[in-house]
Amino acid sequence: MNKNIRILIAKPGLDGHDRGAKYVARALKDAGYEVIYTGIRQTPEAIVKTAIQEDVDFVGLSLLSGAHNELFPRIVNLLREKGAGDIIVFGGGVIPESDIPSLKEKGIRAIFTPGTPIKDITDFIETVK
């Protein structure tokens, strides 16, 4: 037995477009990871508590409503406040290119926009894990 990588796929905000999140969850499972899926409409607090209880290595956030600039950094900050700043956060969804640099500055390690092949995500996980 060895350490399995655990990943939380979460949907903060209010949009119900979970097609992408569910796809990524399933594809990551097929790639051999343990994936926890929270369902839609999760508050940053719920996501952070879940990530900690599940002791995940990664949190993947999916958001299509445009509230990423507010919600993604909230989650990173809350993790840090709870002493879980080592959990790596990445994001996906409809996110304009111009928002990406500032999100990265605020601690979101990678952003995957629509059309990203799943391999980019698994490559990212394998390099930074």
Partner 1 sequence: MSKDERFRQKKQEWEAGTLKKVIDRSPERKAEFTTGSWLPSERVALPESGDFDDYNEKIGFPGEYPFTRGVQPTMYRGRFWTMRQYAGFGTAEESNERYKYLLNQGQTGLSIAFDLPTQIGYDSDDPHAEGEIGKVGVAIDTIKDMEILFDGIPMDKVSTSMTINAPAAVLLAMYIAVAEKQGVPRSKLIGTIQNDILKEYMARGTYIFPPKPSLRLITNIFEYCSAEVPKWNTISISGYHIREAGSTAVQEVAFTLADGIEYVNAALKVGMDIDSFAGRLSFFFNAHSDLLEEVAKFRAARRIWAKIMKEKFHAQKPKSMMLRFHTQTAGSTLTAQQPDNNIVRVAIQTLAAVMGGTQSLHTNSRDEALSLPTEESVRIALRTQQIVAHESGITNTVDPLAGSFYVENLTDKIEKEVWNYLNKIEGMGGMVHAIENGYVQKEIQDAAYRYQQEVERAERIIVGVNKFTIKENAPGGLLKVNPKLQEIQVEKLSRIKKQRNSDIVQNRLSALGVAAKDPDKNLMPFILDAVKDYASLGEICNVLRAEFGEYQESIVL
Partner 2 sequence: MQELARRVIKGDIRGIAKAISLVEDGVETVKKEALIDSLYPHCGHAIIWGITGPPGAGKSSLLDRLIEQLRQDKQKVAVIAVDPSSPFTGGAILGDRLRMQKHAVDDAVFIRSMASRGHLGGVAGATGDAIKIFDAAGYDHIIIETIGVGQTEIEVMELSDIVLLVLVPGLGDEIQALKAGVMEIGDIFIINKKDHDGADRLRTEVEYVLSLKNGAENTTEHPITMTSATLNEGIAEAYSIIQSYYTTILKNGNLAKKRKNRIENELKHIALSKIKESVDKFLNIDDRLDSWVEDVFQKKVSPYKLLNKKINKFLQEIDWK
Instruction: Identify whether the C-beta of residue 10 lies closer than 8 Å to the C-beta of residue 42.
Output: yes
The site for partner 1, by CB under 8 A, has a size of 33
Which of partner 1, partner 2, none binds 28 (CB below 5-8 Å, type-dependent)?
A: partner 2
∠ CA 62-88-45 to the nearest 5 degrees? 60
- Nearest-Å Rg of the Cα atoms of the chain is 13
How would you classify the pairing of strands 6-10 and 34-37? Answer: parallel
State in angstroms the smallest separation of the CB of 59 from partner 1. 17
State the binding partner of 14 from partner 1, partner 2, none, CB within 5 to 8 A by kind: partner 1
- The residue range among 31-39, 67-75, 98-106, 107-115 that interacts with partner 2, by the rule CB under 8 A, is 31-39
Strand partners, 62: 92
Q: Which is nearer to partner 2, 29 or 94 (CB)?
A: 29
Alpha helix stretches (DSSP H) within the chain: 19-30, 44-53, 68-81, 100-105, 118-128
By the rule CB under 8 A, 107 interacts with partner 1: no
Our CA angle for 48, 75, 115, nearest 5°, is: 105
15 sits near partner 1 (criterion: CB under 8 A): yes
User: Which range touches partner 2 (CB under 8 A), out of 48-56, 58-66, 68-76, 111-119?
Assistant: 48-56
Residue numbers at the binding site for partner 1 (CB under 8 A): 13-19, 22-23, 25-27, 37, 39-41, 43, 65-67, 69-71, 94, 96-98, 113-115, 117-119
